[in-house]
Amino acid sequence: MATATTYGARDHARAQEGARAEAMPVVPASAWPAPPCEAGHLVWAETVAGGNYTHRVLARGTELRLTDLLGDACAHLLLFVADRPWERLNVADTVKVQWNAYLGEGRLLLSDQGRVLASVVADTSGRHDALCGTSTLVRNTERYGDGTPQSASPAGRELFKLAAAKNGLEPRDLPPSLSFFQGVEIREDGALDFTGSAGPGGSVTLRAEQDVTVLIANVPHPVDPRPDYVCTPLEVLAWRSEATRPGDQLWETTPESRRAFLNTAEFLAARGLA
Amino acid sequence: MKNVKTVVPARAAWSSVVRTGETLTVTDLYGNQAVDFLVYDAHDTSVRYSAPDTIQAQGTIFLTTGSVLLSNEHTPLMTVVADDVGRHDTVGGACSKESNTLRYGHHTWSQHACVDNFLAEGVKYGLGKRDLVSNINWYMNVPVEKDGTLGIVDGISAPGLSLTLRAERDVLVLVSNCPQINNPCNGFEPTAVEMTIEAGRGDGA
């Protein structure tokens, strides 16, 4: 056997370099075949398998585009301020302050400190959810027979725990999350209607307005009624761009957004970060 | 028979452990008072109320009799066993000094807010900011329009109405009797509420 010796095992392992998989990170990101930005500005290029997760720390001003390649991705997402993660996404403030329960272009993703973590700069999907969170081990075990990360039906919360741990965070650091590409609407009586996917190719682009830690789990939406665990690959691309500035349309969209950007700018200025 | 009644004054915080099978009754003494509410597994506070799990499991954003308050591990913490009002909020979360600056303006910064109540009360149990998540607002009315527009509007509660929760395990409850004065969640005038903990109703707990 070629791997019977240390030299053979080494050669065998090294021979794998260059192999391709359907879902994988491309490193360096600049090797991505069709970048949506100026050549060399790409900092993250990855395809996340259904039932898998990824995470990255993004600098302020980075744009992050998520694409539902085949129509059954669901990007569950959490954001933390990179170097002080106790400031983090607050979905209640995000919907309450902006007077709207739904996500889409022009919405801000707000922290619990009255500041902007990221803004939604483009959206071709329109099927998103800020209320139902992600799936759990208990529920996936009931529905699919298993929910552990190594199973065929991993739960979003279990994947978030792993992604959080790799950023020094614990389960208690995981607040309610957002999900993109599988929609939920609310009826007048409060009941939920699952509206599913907009189809293949839908994308959402976020812009980091502070340095943020991003956790992403690509798992079925928790109220997806289909009996099978259906989740297809998610494309993740991020590139250097610029944060929202005074005078940008987004800054002035509403009185609430103006104050959120002002709070953020003052915080960053006091820290010497912007 | 255990029967502990506590009046929580306007703007104040309150907390208690409620044992398995015991009930907690929240009485809106003067009507239209938002009661911000968080609940944790008393023995493992990393297991705590999850608005998303509660919403997804019951298929609606409003709470009433029969609603089970689920944890972030999708396990039951408490069940609503009686409710005079019929609709309580899971979406709006707590007011904070910080969110007040966005919602109303920076002039509100010196006003008191629920997150400060939760922090002050939670620290008695070793809980900190990382342990705060989206909470329940008993008696608060937050409708959602077809286009997604939502907001806190006039309440549908009245003086003396109450709701009762049964503990499905030993739980720690944190309450902020909402001090907000800039929206109708408590009629722009915070008032007192009453908390009553009783032994299990015939279940031997």
Cα separation, A141 vs A198, whole angstroms = 27
Of B51, B133, B150, nearest to A99 by CB-CB distance is: B150
Residues A216/A67, Cβ–Cβ less than 8 Å: no
What stretch of H or E contains A250?
none
Residues A69/A47, Cβ–Cβ less than 8 Å: yes
Note whether B73 contacts A192, CB cutoff 8 Å. no
Note whether B56 contacts A223, CB cutoff 8 Å. yes
Compute the mean pLDDT over every residue in chain B, rounded to the nearest whole number.
96
Q: Is B126 on the interface with A (CB under 8 A)?
A: no
DSSP state string for B93-121: ----HHHHHHHT-GGGTTS--HHHHHHHH
Q: Calculate how close chain A gets to B22, using CA atoms only, in Å.
A: 25
Q: Calculate how close chain B gets to A164, using CA atoms only, in Å.
A: 13
For the stretch B150-165, pLDDT in tens is 999 999 999 999 999 9
For the stretch A205-250, pLDDT in tens is 999 999 999 999 999 999 999 999 999 999 999 999 999 999 999 9
Tokens of A85: 């993660």
Residue of chain A whose Cα is closest to the Cα of B109: A114
Cα separation, A86 vs A168, whole angstroms = 12
Only one residue has tokens 């129509």, namely A71
Residues A239/A232, Cβ–Cβ less than 8 Å: no
Give the residues of chain A that fall short of pLDDT 50: none
Surface of B (162-191) touching A: CB under 8 A:
none
pTM: 0.96
Of B102, B150, B152, nearest to A260 by CB-CB distance is: B102
| First-last CA distance in chain A | 59
Residue B204: what pLDDT?
Answer: 42
Compute the mean pLDDT over every residue in chain A, rounded to the nearest whole number.
97
Among A96, A167, A221, the residue to mutate for chain B (most B Cβ within 10 A): A96
Q: Calculate how close chain A gets to B92, using CA atoms only, in Å.
A: 5
Note whether B99 contacts A263, CB cutoff 8 Å. no
Q: Is A105 on the interface with B (CB under 8 A)?
A: no
Residues B137/B88, Cβ–Cβ less than 8 Å: yes
